[in-house]
Structure 1
Amino acid sequence: MEAIRPYPLGEPHRLDPDPAYRELLGRDALTRVRLPHGGPAWLAVRHDHVREVLASPVISRGLAAGNPELPRLMPEPPPAGTIMTLDGAAHTRVRRLAAKAFTARRIEGMRGEIQRFVDELVDAMDAAGPPADLVSRVAVPLPLRVICTLLGVPLADRTRFRSFTEKVMGTTAFGSDEVRTAMADFFGYLAGLVAERRATPADDLLGALVLARDEEDRLGEQELIWLGVALLIGGHETTLNQISNFVYVLLGHPDQLADLRAHPEIAPRAVEELLRFVPTGAGSAHAVIATEDVELGGVTVRRGEGIVVDLGAAGYDPRVFPDPYRLDLRREPNHHLALGHSAHFCLGAQLARVELELALTTLLRRLPGLRLAVPAGELEWNTGGLIRGLRRLPVTW
């Protein structure tokens, strides 16, 4: 009998896909793995297997909530009441309320404002002169400012919720007590903002959610708070890492960088390819749970067993992406799963795409000589967290 593999499959190295992907992607069935917390689960890496699991009506996220036996990377299981751990009708109800803020029309309407934010950040960086840290100068402040504007959260509090996000998204960097304390503190912080909206209504997403809770009775109090937390984290954490990650990858592929600089009209396609090519995380945060015995990915998953879906691995499936280890900014079609699939497709996908597109095209247009200010081997990478990314990205131009 085959030994159960540890998951994550190995220590993340920069942004390189794990070498074990090649073998596992060639398999006909899911693989048995053991996670740091909560024990064994099935692992889905193939594109068709990942889609199958994410779309299955007998797979539950709700059973993962607050479950100490849940196979997971993080010390604490995900909490109940958040959009990430709701199933069925409850999930649909909450998602529909939040989705009103993320319609394609509304996000396109924000494009000019986001471009202004990017221009201001690049102006300040250029005025200060090289070298500069792209992480602190552009990658972090841009998505923070955008999500604060959308939600109606004071930008002055950004340090507070950045600290919270880093703890909650950690895998080994923080202990359970620190994570629980951070969650309690931030829950209280959001509750305070909700109280402010009740006292003084405002025309922002948080104000709209409070209205849905108080006057339309479509949102529970805990659901309201956790939705605010989820939108705040999801609205900036991945994007801020991917801005610097994408620039790093482009600087390592000068032919693709030159093509994008010369042809900015391919930027939407370039963003999709970078989303496929760059592994977002060190691994999937936690398993989802089968509610009944079911055939998935070539194996029988028993009721109560967990399945981990690796979205990053699916982007390297040669059945779907010819020559998957080659970066091709003009790749079409590009049906990657980096932003999820089915009912849990990323709510803020279009917002992230616009931010990434404008950040990349503006940097390449305004700073035509953009390059690393230190050897690539000297760059510092974040460790102990769920999201891969750089601590600093020193650049010059």
Structure 2
Amino acid sequence: MTLFDHKLIENPTAAYARLRESAAVHRTTTPEGEPLWVITRYREARASLADGRLSLDKANAKTSGAYQSSMPPELDAHLLNMDPPDHTRLRRLIARAFTPRRIAALRSRIQAMTDALLTTRAAPRMDLMDVLATPLPMGVICELLGVPEDNHHNFRAWTDTLLSPTAGSAKDSRTAMRQMHQFLTEVIQAKRSHPSNDLLSALVNARDDHDSLSEQELLSLAFLTLFAGYDNTVHLIGNAVLGLLLHPQVMHQVRQRTLPIEAVIEETLRWNPPFPLGVRRFALEDITIDDTVIPAGGRVWISIASANRDDREFPSPDSFTLGRPSTHLAFGHGIHYCLGAPLARLEAEIAIGSLLEHFPVLELAVPLEDLAWWPSFHKRGLRSLPVRTRPLNPDMAVARG
């Protein structure tokens, strides 16, 4: 079995349990046949996420496969492809947008956006991914960056194409990347002419006035912030709501405020993380992990989804149990820990809390086995989440029925 096996994508819990049982590290191959090592146990995964001998820089790869670099250079000079000192320089720059104070200041705006979506788009039966989980993170990250609202739909389509490739879809991916590159170039030019109080304007200023980053880094940072800041939060919200729908007693306790929403989010991040694999890494030297030698230049994937279900760290790992210690690896560990984690948590907290307040009845509208997941090893998320609801105001249901 490989990372790209449909059996693993369709049922990752069972597949990773078998892999963990046999070893902490497994050698497999990419679709092009290049060697690849996957880390599946918690202790080894956590250590590897912070191991300086594992580089994010593709220049350290020893491979000839096309899978080495799927992004054009114009969009590839970002934090997920860098080691210190370049990583340190760019992270310090982008971190200004994600300070606790700036994130807290977004609460009222996120709440307003959430209320608007639930008020104007909700119905007695609806797809929660379409009504709330997708448009909210897209709206928040685009507003943070200063991206025009009429481009949201296009960006959603490009992201889905890149994160959920299908057989023979390389042409579609190249087209999506080309369109995204053109779009970001035009937005950046507009910010140069008419700057405003948003993150993208600040990055343009850092490029033009302070020479803190190159034009390629500017484009790449804009791409990464949109790309990562949107899709992961979409599926954090969707997976968290699914967790509650499958555990009605937990949902009741959250409604009664005997369990905090924050605990739902943390357990979702452990139990069903939206980003199941850490960013691929390349060994700078021969590295031995659990008696397995990964040669210098070898490609390494760290399975967050598997590590978060390791019973060596989490008792009864397959159960949705709130109140566990927050030692999951969903946002990474070490110097590459996700900068957007506080924003993702805040969006999920507001989205779930508001959903439960708006609808005293919320239940899955289809059998669990009918839910469709995105066919991707890059993300773990639902294509749709059909639910039945009853709003607080009965007249609302009549009007929309």
TM-score by length of 1: 0.90
1:202 and 2:222 are equivalent in the alignment? no
Counterpart of 1:6 in 2: which secondary structure? coil
Q: Unaligned 5+ residue runs, structure 1?
A: none
> What's 2:133 paired with?
139
Equivalence for 1:343: 335
1:285-324 deviation line (CA, Å, top 9, x unaligned): 8631111122334322211111110011110111211111
1:305 to 2:301 alignment: no
Given that 1:76 and 1:176 are in contact with CA atoms closer than 8 Å, whether structure 2 keeps it comes out as no
CA contact (8 A) 2:55 2:282 kept: yes
How many angstroms apart in 1 are the aligned matches of 2:5 and 2:72?
22
Further displaced range: 372-381 or 149-158:
372-381
Partner of 1:248: 242
Task: Please identify, of 39-48 and 140-149, the stretch whose mean Cα deviation from structure 2 is larger.
Answer: 39-48
| Matching residue of 2:45 | 50
Match of residue 272 from structure 1 = 266
Checking the alignment, whether the CA contact within 8 Å between 1:287 and 1:306 is kept in structure 2 is yes
Judge which range, 19-28 or 129-138, deviates more.
19-28
Provide the residue aligned with 1:170 in structure 2: 164
Distance across 2 between alignment mates of 1:19 and 1:78:
35
TM-score under structure 2 length normalisation: 0.89
Higher alpha-carbon deviation: 267-276 or 375-384: 375-384
Distance 1:29 1:363, change over 3 A: closer
Do structure 1's residue 99 and structure 2's residue 92 form an aligned pair? Answer: no
The Cα of 1:42 is off from its aligned counterpart by 1.4
Query: For the structure 1 residues 232 and 67, does the alpha-carbon distance in structure 2 shift closer, same or farther, using more than 3 Å as the test?
Result: farther
Cα distance between partner residues in 1 of 2:47 and 2:69 = 28
Name the amino acid aligned to 2:362: L
The SS at the match of 1:194 is helix
Give 1:349 shift: 0.5
Whether the 8 Å contact between 1:287 and 1:309 is mirrored in structure 2 is: yes
Two-structure CA RMSD over aligned residues (Å):
2.4
Which residue, 13, 20, 30 being the options, matches 1:18?
A: 13
**1:391: how far off?**
2.1
1:383 is matched with 375
Question: In the alignment, what sits opposite 2:319?
Answer: 326
Contact 1:81 1:222 in 2 (8 A): yes
Q: Distance in 1 between matches of 2:65 and 2:269?
A: 28
In structure 2, what is the Cα distance between the partners aligned to 1:13 and 1:93? 36
Task: Please tell me the residue identity of whatever aligns with 1:119.
Answer: D
How far 1:169 moved relative to its partner? 1.4
- Asked whether the equivalents of residues 43 and 308 of structure 1 are also in contact (C-alpha less than 8 Å), the reply is yes
- Residue type of the alignment partner of 1:145: G
Give me the whole-angstrom Cα distance separating, in 2, the residues matched to 1:77 and 1:301.
25
Superposition deviation, residue 255 in structure 1:
1.7
Residues 310-351 of structure 1: per-residue CA shift (max 9 Å, x gap): 0111101112111111111222x1200011111211111000
SS at match of 1:88: coil
Q: Is the 8 A contact 1:148 1:155 kept in 2?
A: yes
2:177 is the counterpart of 1:187: no
**CA offsets, 1:67-105, max 9 Å, x none?**
863695x99368541221111111111111111111122
1:222 corresponds in structure 2 to 216
The letter for the 2-side match of 1:339 is F
Q: 1:52 to 1:329 in 2, by over 3 A?
A: same
Contact 1:43 1:310 in 2 (8 A): yes
The separation in 2 between residues aligned to 1:258 and 1:308, in whole angstroms, is 38
Cα shift at 1:25: 2.5
Where structure 2 has 5 or more consecutive residues not aligned to the other structure, the ranges are 390-401
Deviation at 1:365, TM superposition (A): 1.7
Alpha-carbon distance, 1:21 to partner: 2.3
1:68–1:77 CA contact under 8 A, matched in 2 = no
What CA distance in whole angstroms lies between the structure 2 residues aligned with 1:250 and 1:267?
Answer: 10
Deviation of 1:172 (Å): 2.1
Does the 8 Å contact 2:366/2:386 carry over to 1? Answer: yes
What SS is found at the alignment partner of 1:387? Answer: coil
Amino acid at match of 1:351: L
The question of 1:288 aligning with 2:284 is answered no
Q: State the one-letter code of the partner of 1:90.
A: D
Equivalent position amino acid for 2:299 in 1: G
Matched, 1:41 2:41: no
In structure 2, the residue matched to 1:358 is 350
Distance 1:112 1:298 in 2: 51
Offset of residue 384 of structure 1: 4.8
Cα separation, 1, equivalents of 2:38 and 2:50: 16
Q: Structure 1 residue aligned with 2:77, among 78, 81, 84? A: 81
Q: Deviations over 1:146-171 (max 9, x none)?
A: 00110000111001111211122123
| Aligned 8 A contact 2:114 2:136 in 1 | yes
